[in-house]
Structure 1
């Protein structure tokens, strides 16, 4: 069995930046074990698989260790593969996922994704979290999946040196760290060692919490964001109430074939 594979740098306008994702188009679903093994072999933060079902596509995402319920950069990468390599020409791509239907359109080189806005509530800043991050945030919030630590300024976020062993033990799947930006409305970093990704380069799903938070705090619905990882990535964001719109670019790094 031969499977096409594309590696795409998402939220990037040049290769070697943004967040790399593998994308594998399928005619029918493989077994969960096989898809998990492929994701482990790819050893990227996410491998996306999709199958066409009439007018929409079923889409699933796998880290090297497990399947996840939402991944922004691999969704963007999947839309890029459809438009750039598989002759898809409809105005909007509709993906059916574990997080419901997701819509992606393309305009002027940017892919715009319609994602759910995730609710969150404030919790106490604990010594456990401060020790894990190596710095004490001003505020701490808990969503249905991730924890979000808010710092006073961009430098604090950029200079974080987390203890990933301790980060893996705090509540939630991941920790989002964020602060007001100097050149952007806000900056962030995203730590998730629990799924073998110590720091994710650019994380669309994190902005399902970040955008509602910063939209309310800054009193504006349209925002620009920068994820301040080593690779870095820019996102254009819009708060739509119970939804968020996330836009970014993508570049194909590699096309290949998996031989099984």
Structure 2
């Protein structure tokens, strides 16, 4: 699989997961680490090598068919394509300021990415992204525990913060997304889990899949360990 194809697949999963089941051509809870507010850590000299996750078959369960996504830099065209996943459908978010809860993994023009993905027996994406420009702002506002989404006649959905694995000196968050929409003319529901670890104001790690959040959380811990090694 080429670098460019790997970026597009991972971007579609990371950013467009909430649209994938839509037929698109994509009370205050107790405080948990899902809305973590720890400080960002500093990057080592030279930054993290996101390419380490391009060879990450060892963090997948035994029996998974894992493919590498070589290191690539997101182009303006690809960044526009990612934005277009949402721009192509008029979706309202409630509350509006919690929209980022639906897309908690940052991918912007110039981001260096690397990762691995499986398709069999289940699709899981493991990916690291290093922004070209530091962004110290929180990925998700600390007040956001849930955001609902509505595109009349197309889809409805909800993204909810859930317990995230705790990793020393790393901000972590986890989101469960459930979307009801149309797929091939039939009513369909898609459920996915996205685990994110923010290592610094430039580098983040994501693990995403459609089942077993405990497994995905364990894989996030292993992915961070691999990136930091």
Specify the structure having the higher radius of gyration (Cα). 1
Q: More strand per residue: 1 or 2? A: 1
Q: More helix per residue: 1 or 2? A: 2
TM-score (norm 1): 0.27
Larger RCO (CA under 8 A, 6+ residues apart): 2
TM-score (norm 2): 0.29
